[in-house]
């Protein structure tokens, strides 16, 4: 019997210092300088000066939508969210690979790339019922030693305009979904009050957080944000509401963006951005200066909406930095915080710390510093989840293929 589960020797910490880290029962047991004798461990990793950083957080992904694990699907163009939703439905119907296997393929990619905590949206509408949710709940259970997954019940086909969806969302929140989603109250449902009242009342009924996709542009999107702010404050949901995308914040004047952001900050609403290449996106620096949690996610990975992405949140941090014209070490460190601490704070309600008793979720990369890791996006030499080494040299360490089991 070893006194320690894991001993990480010769680690370079984000502050540049060298240290060794002892892990017991999934938690940091001791942090010491390299020369201290910490005792025997079941697993010993000598990092030889490689960087030990927190596990990555993918705060917005769609595991159920991916084509990963199925043959390549040529992208079909669509001009609106509604059109794309219909194209997606038709494409997914043609796939013979079940949702569990597709999701598992994508999940393994995300895990190998260092993600240890994830929020996935799952489509809920009458044509699929709760089938996608059941599949993702099964996958979540299968991979529980590798990653923590929070599930959002997501009305991709609309809520008011798609009869039967509301009852399914209600049911989903009793059958594995943790968060209630929403989507373009104006653009999808043409009923801002009806859509938001339904989402907020489900959140109140089940005591869950809210995460609303908002693609609606410019002034329309700003109006909807103000409606979301009003309801968040009225129900005292400070710290429990997210708006994903919120492109509108990047489409209006700097003055209006600031005023709206001040209201968002007052209501404790967080913003998720993927820093998309083809669209305006929220001003990350302004939002963070106002104290708004800004986090990120892979969103669409090889699916009907987007053929790209490797579900690598270090790559996403680099994209956020690139699109925001971040160049200094402080700015690159901000991009890293967006894909680690800030995401964890939104999803779990607390910022993980590097201290005795904290959960031992780490990645190890060959880099001098966090800014260097963001700029160069090196291979994850190790991924450590709850003190267990789950990935070595970019490959999952496992006794058999979990993809085949689901």
Using CB under 5 A, list all residues that contact Zn ion.
Answer: 299
- Which CB atom, from 81 or from 186, has the smaller least distance to Zn ion? 81
Which tokens go with 166?
């509301």
- 393 contact partners, CB below 8 Å, separation of at least 6: 379, 381
> Closest Cα partner for 272 from 208, 320, 207, 200?
320
Least distance to Zn ion from the beta carbon of 297, Å? 8
Nearer to Zn ion, 243 or 341 (CB): 243
Residue 221 to residues 252, 262, 310: CA-CA distances in angstroms? 10, 16, 29
CB of residue 85 to Zn ion, shortest distance in Å = 12
> Among residues 58 and 299, whose Cβ is nearest to Zn ion?
299
We find the least distance from the C-beta atom of residue 181 to Zn ion, in angstroms, to be 9
CB nearer Zn ion, residue 122 or residue 222: 122
Q: Kindly state the smallest distance separating residue 268's Cβ from Zn ion, in Å.
A: 22
Q: In sequence order, which residues have a C-beta less than 8 Å from that of residue 265 and are 6 or more positions away?
A: 287, 290, 291, 292
Judged by beta carbon, residue 152 or residue 341, the one nearer Zn ion is 152
Element (H, E) at 124: none
Backbone angles phi, psi at 225, to 5 degrees: -60, -40
CA end-to-end span of the chain, whole Å?
A: 33
Three-point CA angle 299, 254, 249, nearest 5°? 25
Q: Which H/E stretch holds residue 385?
A: strand 380-385
> 3-state DSSP call for residue 244?
strand
CB 64 within 8 A of CB 281: no
- The CB-of-258 to Zn ion minimum distance in angstroms stands at 26
Residue nearest to Zn ion (CB): 299
Q: Which is nearer to Zn ion, 91 or 359 (CB)?
A: 91
Please report how close the Cβ of residue 22 comes to Zn ion at its closest, in angstroms.
39
Task: State which residue, 148 or 299, has the beta carbon closest to Zn ion.
Answer: 299
Write down the least CB distance from residue 60 to Zn ion, Å.
6
Least Å distance between CB 32 and Zn ion?
Answer: 42
Each residue of 272-292: b (16+ CB within 10 Å) or e?
bbbbbeeeebbbbebbbeeeb
Q: Please, what's the largest Cα pairwise distance for the chain?
A: 66
Residue 41 vs 311, nearer CB to Zn ion? 311
């Amino acid at each position: 019997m070893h006194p320690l589960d894991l001993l990480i020797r010769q680690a370079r910490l984000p502050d540049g210092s060298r240290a060794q880290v002892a892990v017991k029962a999934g938690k940091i047991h001791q942090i010491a300088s390299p020369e201290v004798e910490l005792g025997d461990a079941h697993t010993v990793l000598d990092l030889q000066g490689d960087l030990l950083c927190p596990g990555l957080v993918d705060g917005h992904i769609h595991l159920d939508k991916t084509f990963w694990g199925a043959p390549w699907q040529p992208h079909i163009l669509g001009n609106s969210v509604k059109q794309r939703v219909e194209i997606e439905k038709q494409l997914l119907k043609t796939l013979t690979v079940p949702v569990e296997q597709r999701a598992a393929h994508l999940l393994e990619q995300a895990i190998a790339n260092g993600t240890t905590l994830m929020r996935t949206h799952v489509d809920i509408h009458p044509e699929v019922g709760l089938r996608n949710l059941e599949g993702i709940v099964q996958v979540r259970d299968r991979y529980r030693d590798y990653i923590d997954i929070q599930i959002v019940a997501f009305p991709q086909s609309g809520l008011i305009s798609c009869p039967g969806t509301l009852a399914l969302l209600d049911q989903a929140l009793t059958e594995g979904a943790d968060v209630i989603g929403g989507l373009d109250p104006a653009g999808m449902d043409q009923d801002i009050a009806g859509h938001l009242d339904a989402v907020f009342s489900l959140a109140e009924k089940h005591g869950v957080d809210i995460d609303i996709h908002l693609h609606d542009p410019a002034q329309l999107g700003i109006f909807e944000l103000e409606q979301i702010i009003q309801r968040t404050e009225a129900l005292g949901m400070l710290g429990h509401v997210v708006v994903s995308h919120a492109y509108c914040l990047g489409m209006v004047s700097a003055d209006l963006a600031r005023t709206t952001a001040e209201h968002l900050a007052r209501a404790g609403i967080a913003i998720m951005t993927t820093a998309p290449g083809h669209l305006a996106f929220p001003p990350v620096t302004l939002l963070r200066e106002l104290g708004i949690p800004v986090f990120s996610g892979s969103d669409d990975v090889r699916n009907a909406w987007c053929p790209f992405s490797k579900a690598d949140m270090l790559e996403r941090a680099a994209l956020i930095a690139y699109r925001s014209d971040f160049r200094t070490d402080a700015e690159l460190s901000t991009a890293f915080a967006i894909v680690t601490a800030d995401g964890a704070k939104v999803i779990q309600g607390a910022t993980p710390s590097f201290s005795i008793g904290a959960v031992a979720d780490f990645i190890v990369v060959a880099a001098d510093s966090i800014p260097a890791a963001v700029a160069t996006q090196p291979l994850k030499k190790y991924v450590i989840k709850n003190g267990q080494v789950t990935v070595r040299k970019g490959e999952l360490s496992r006794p058999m293929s979990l993809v085949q089991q689901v």
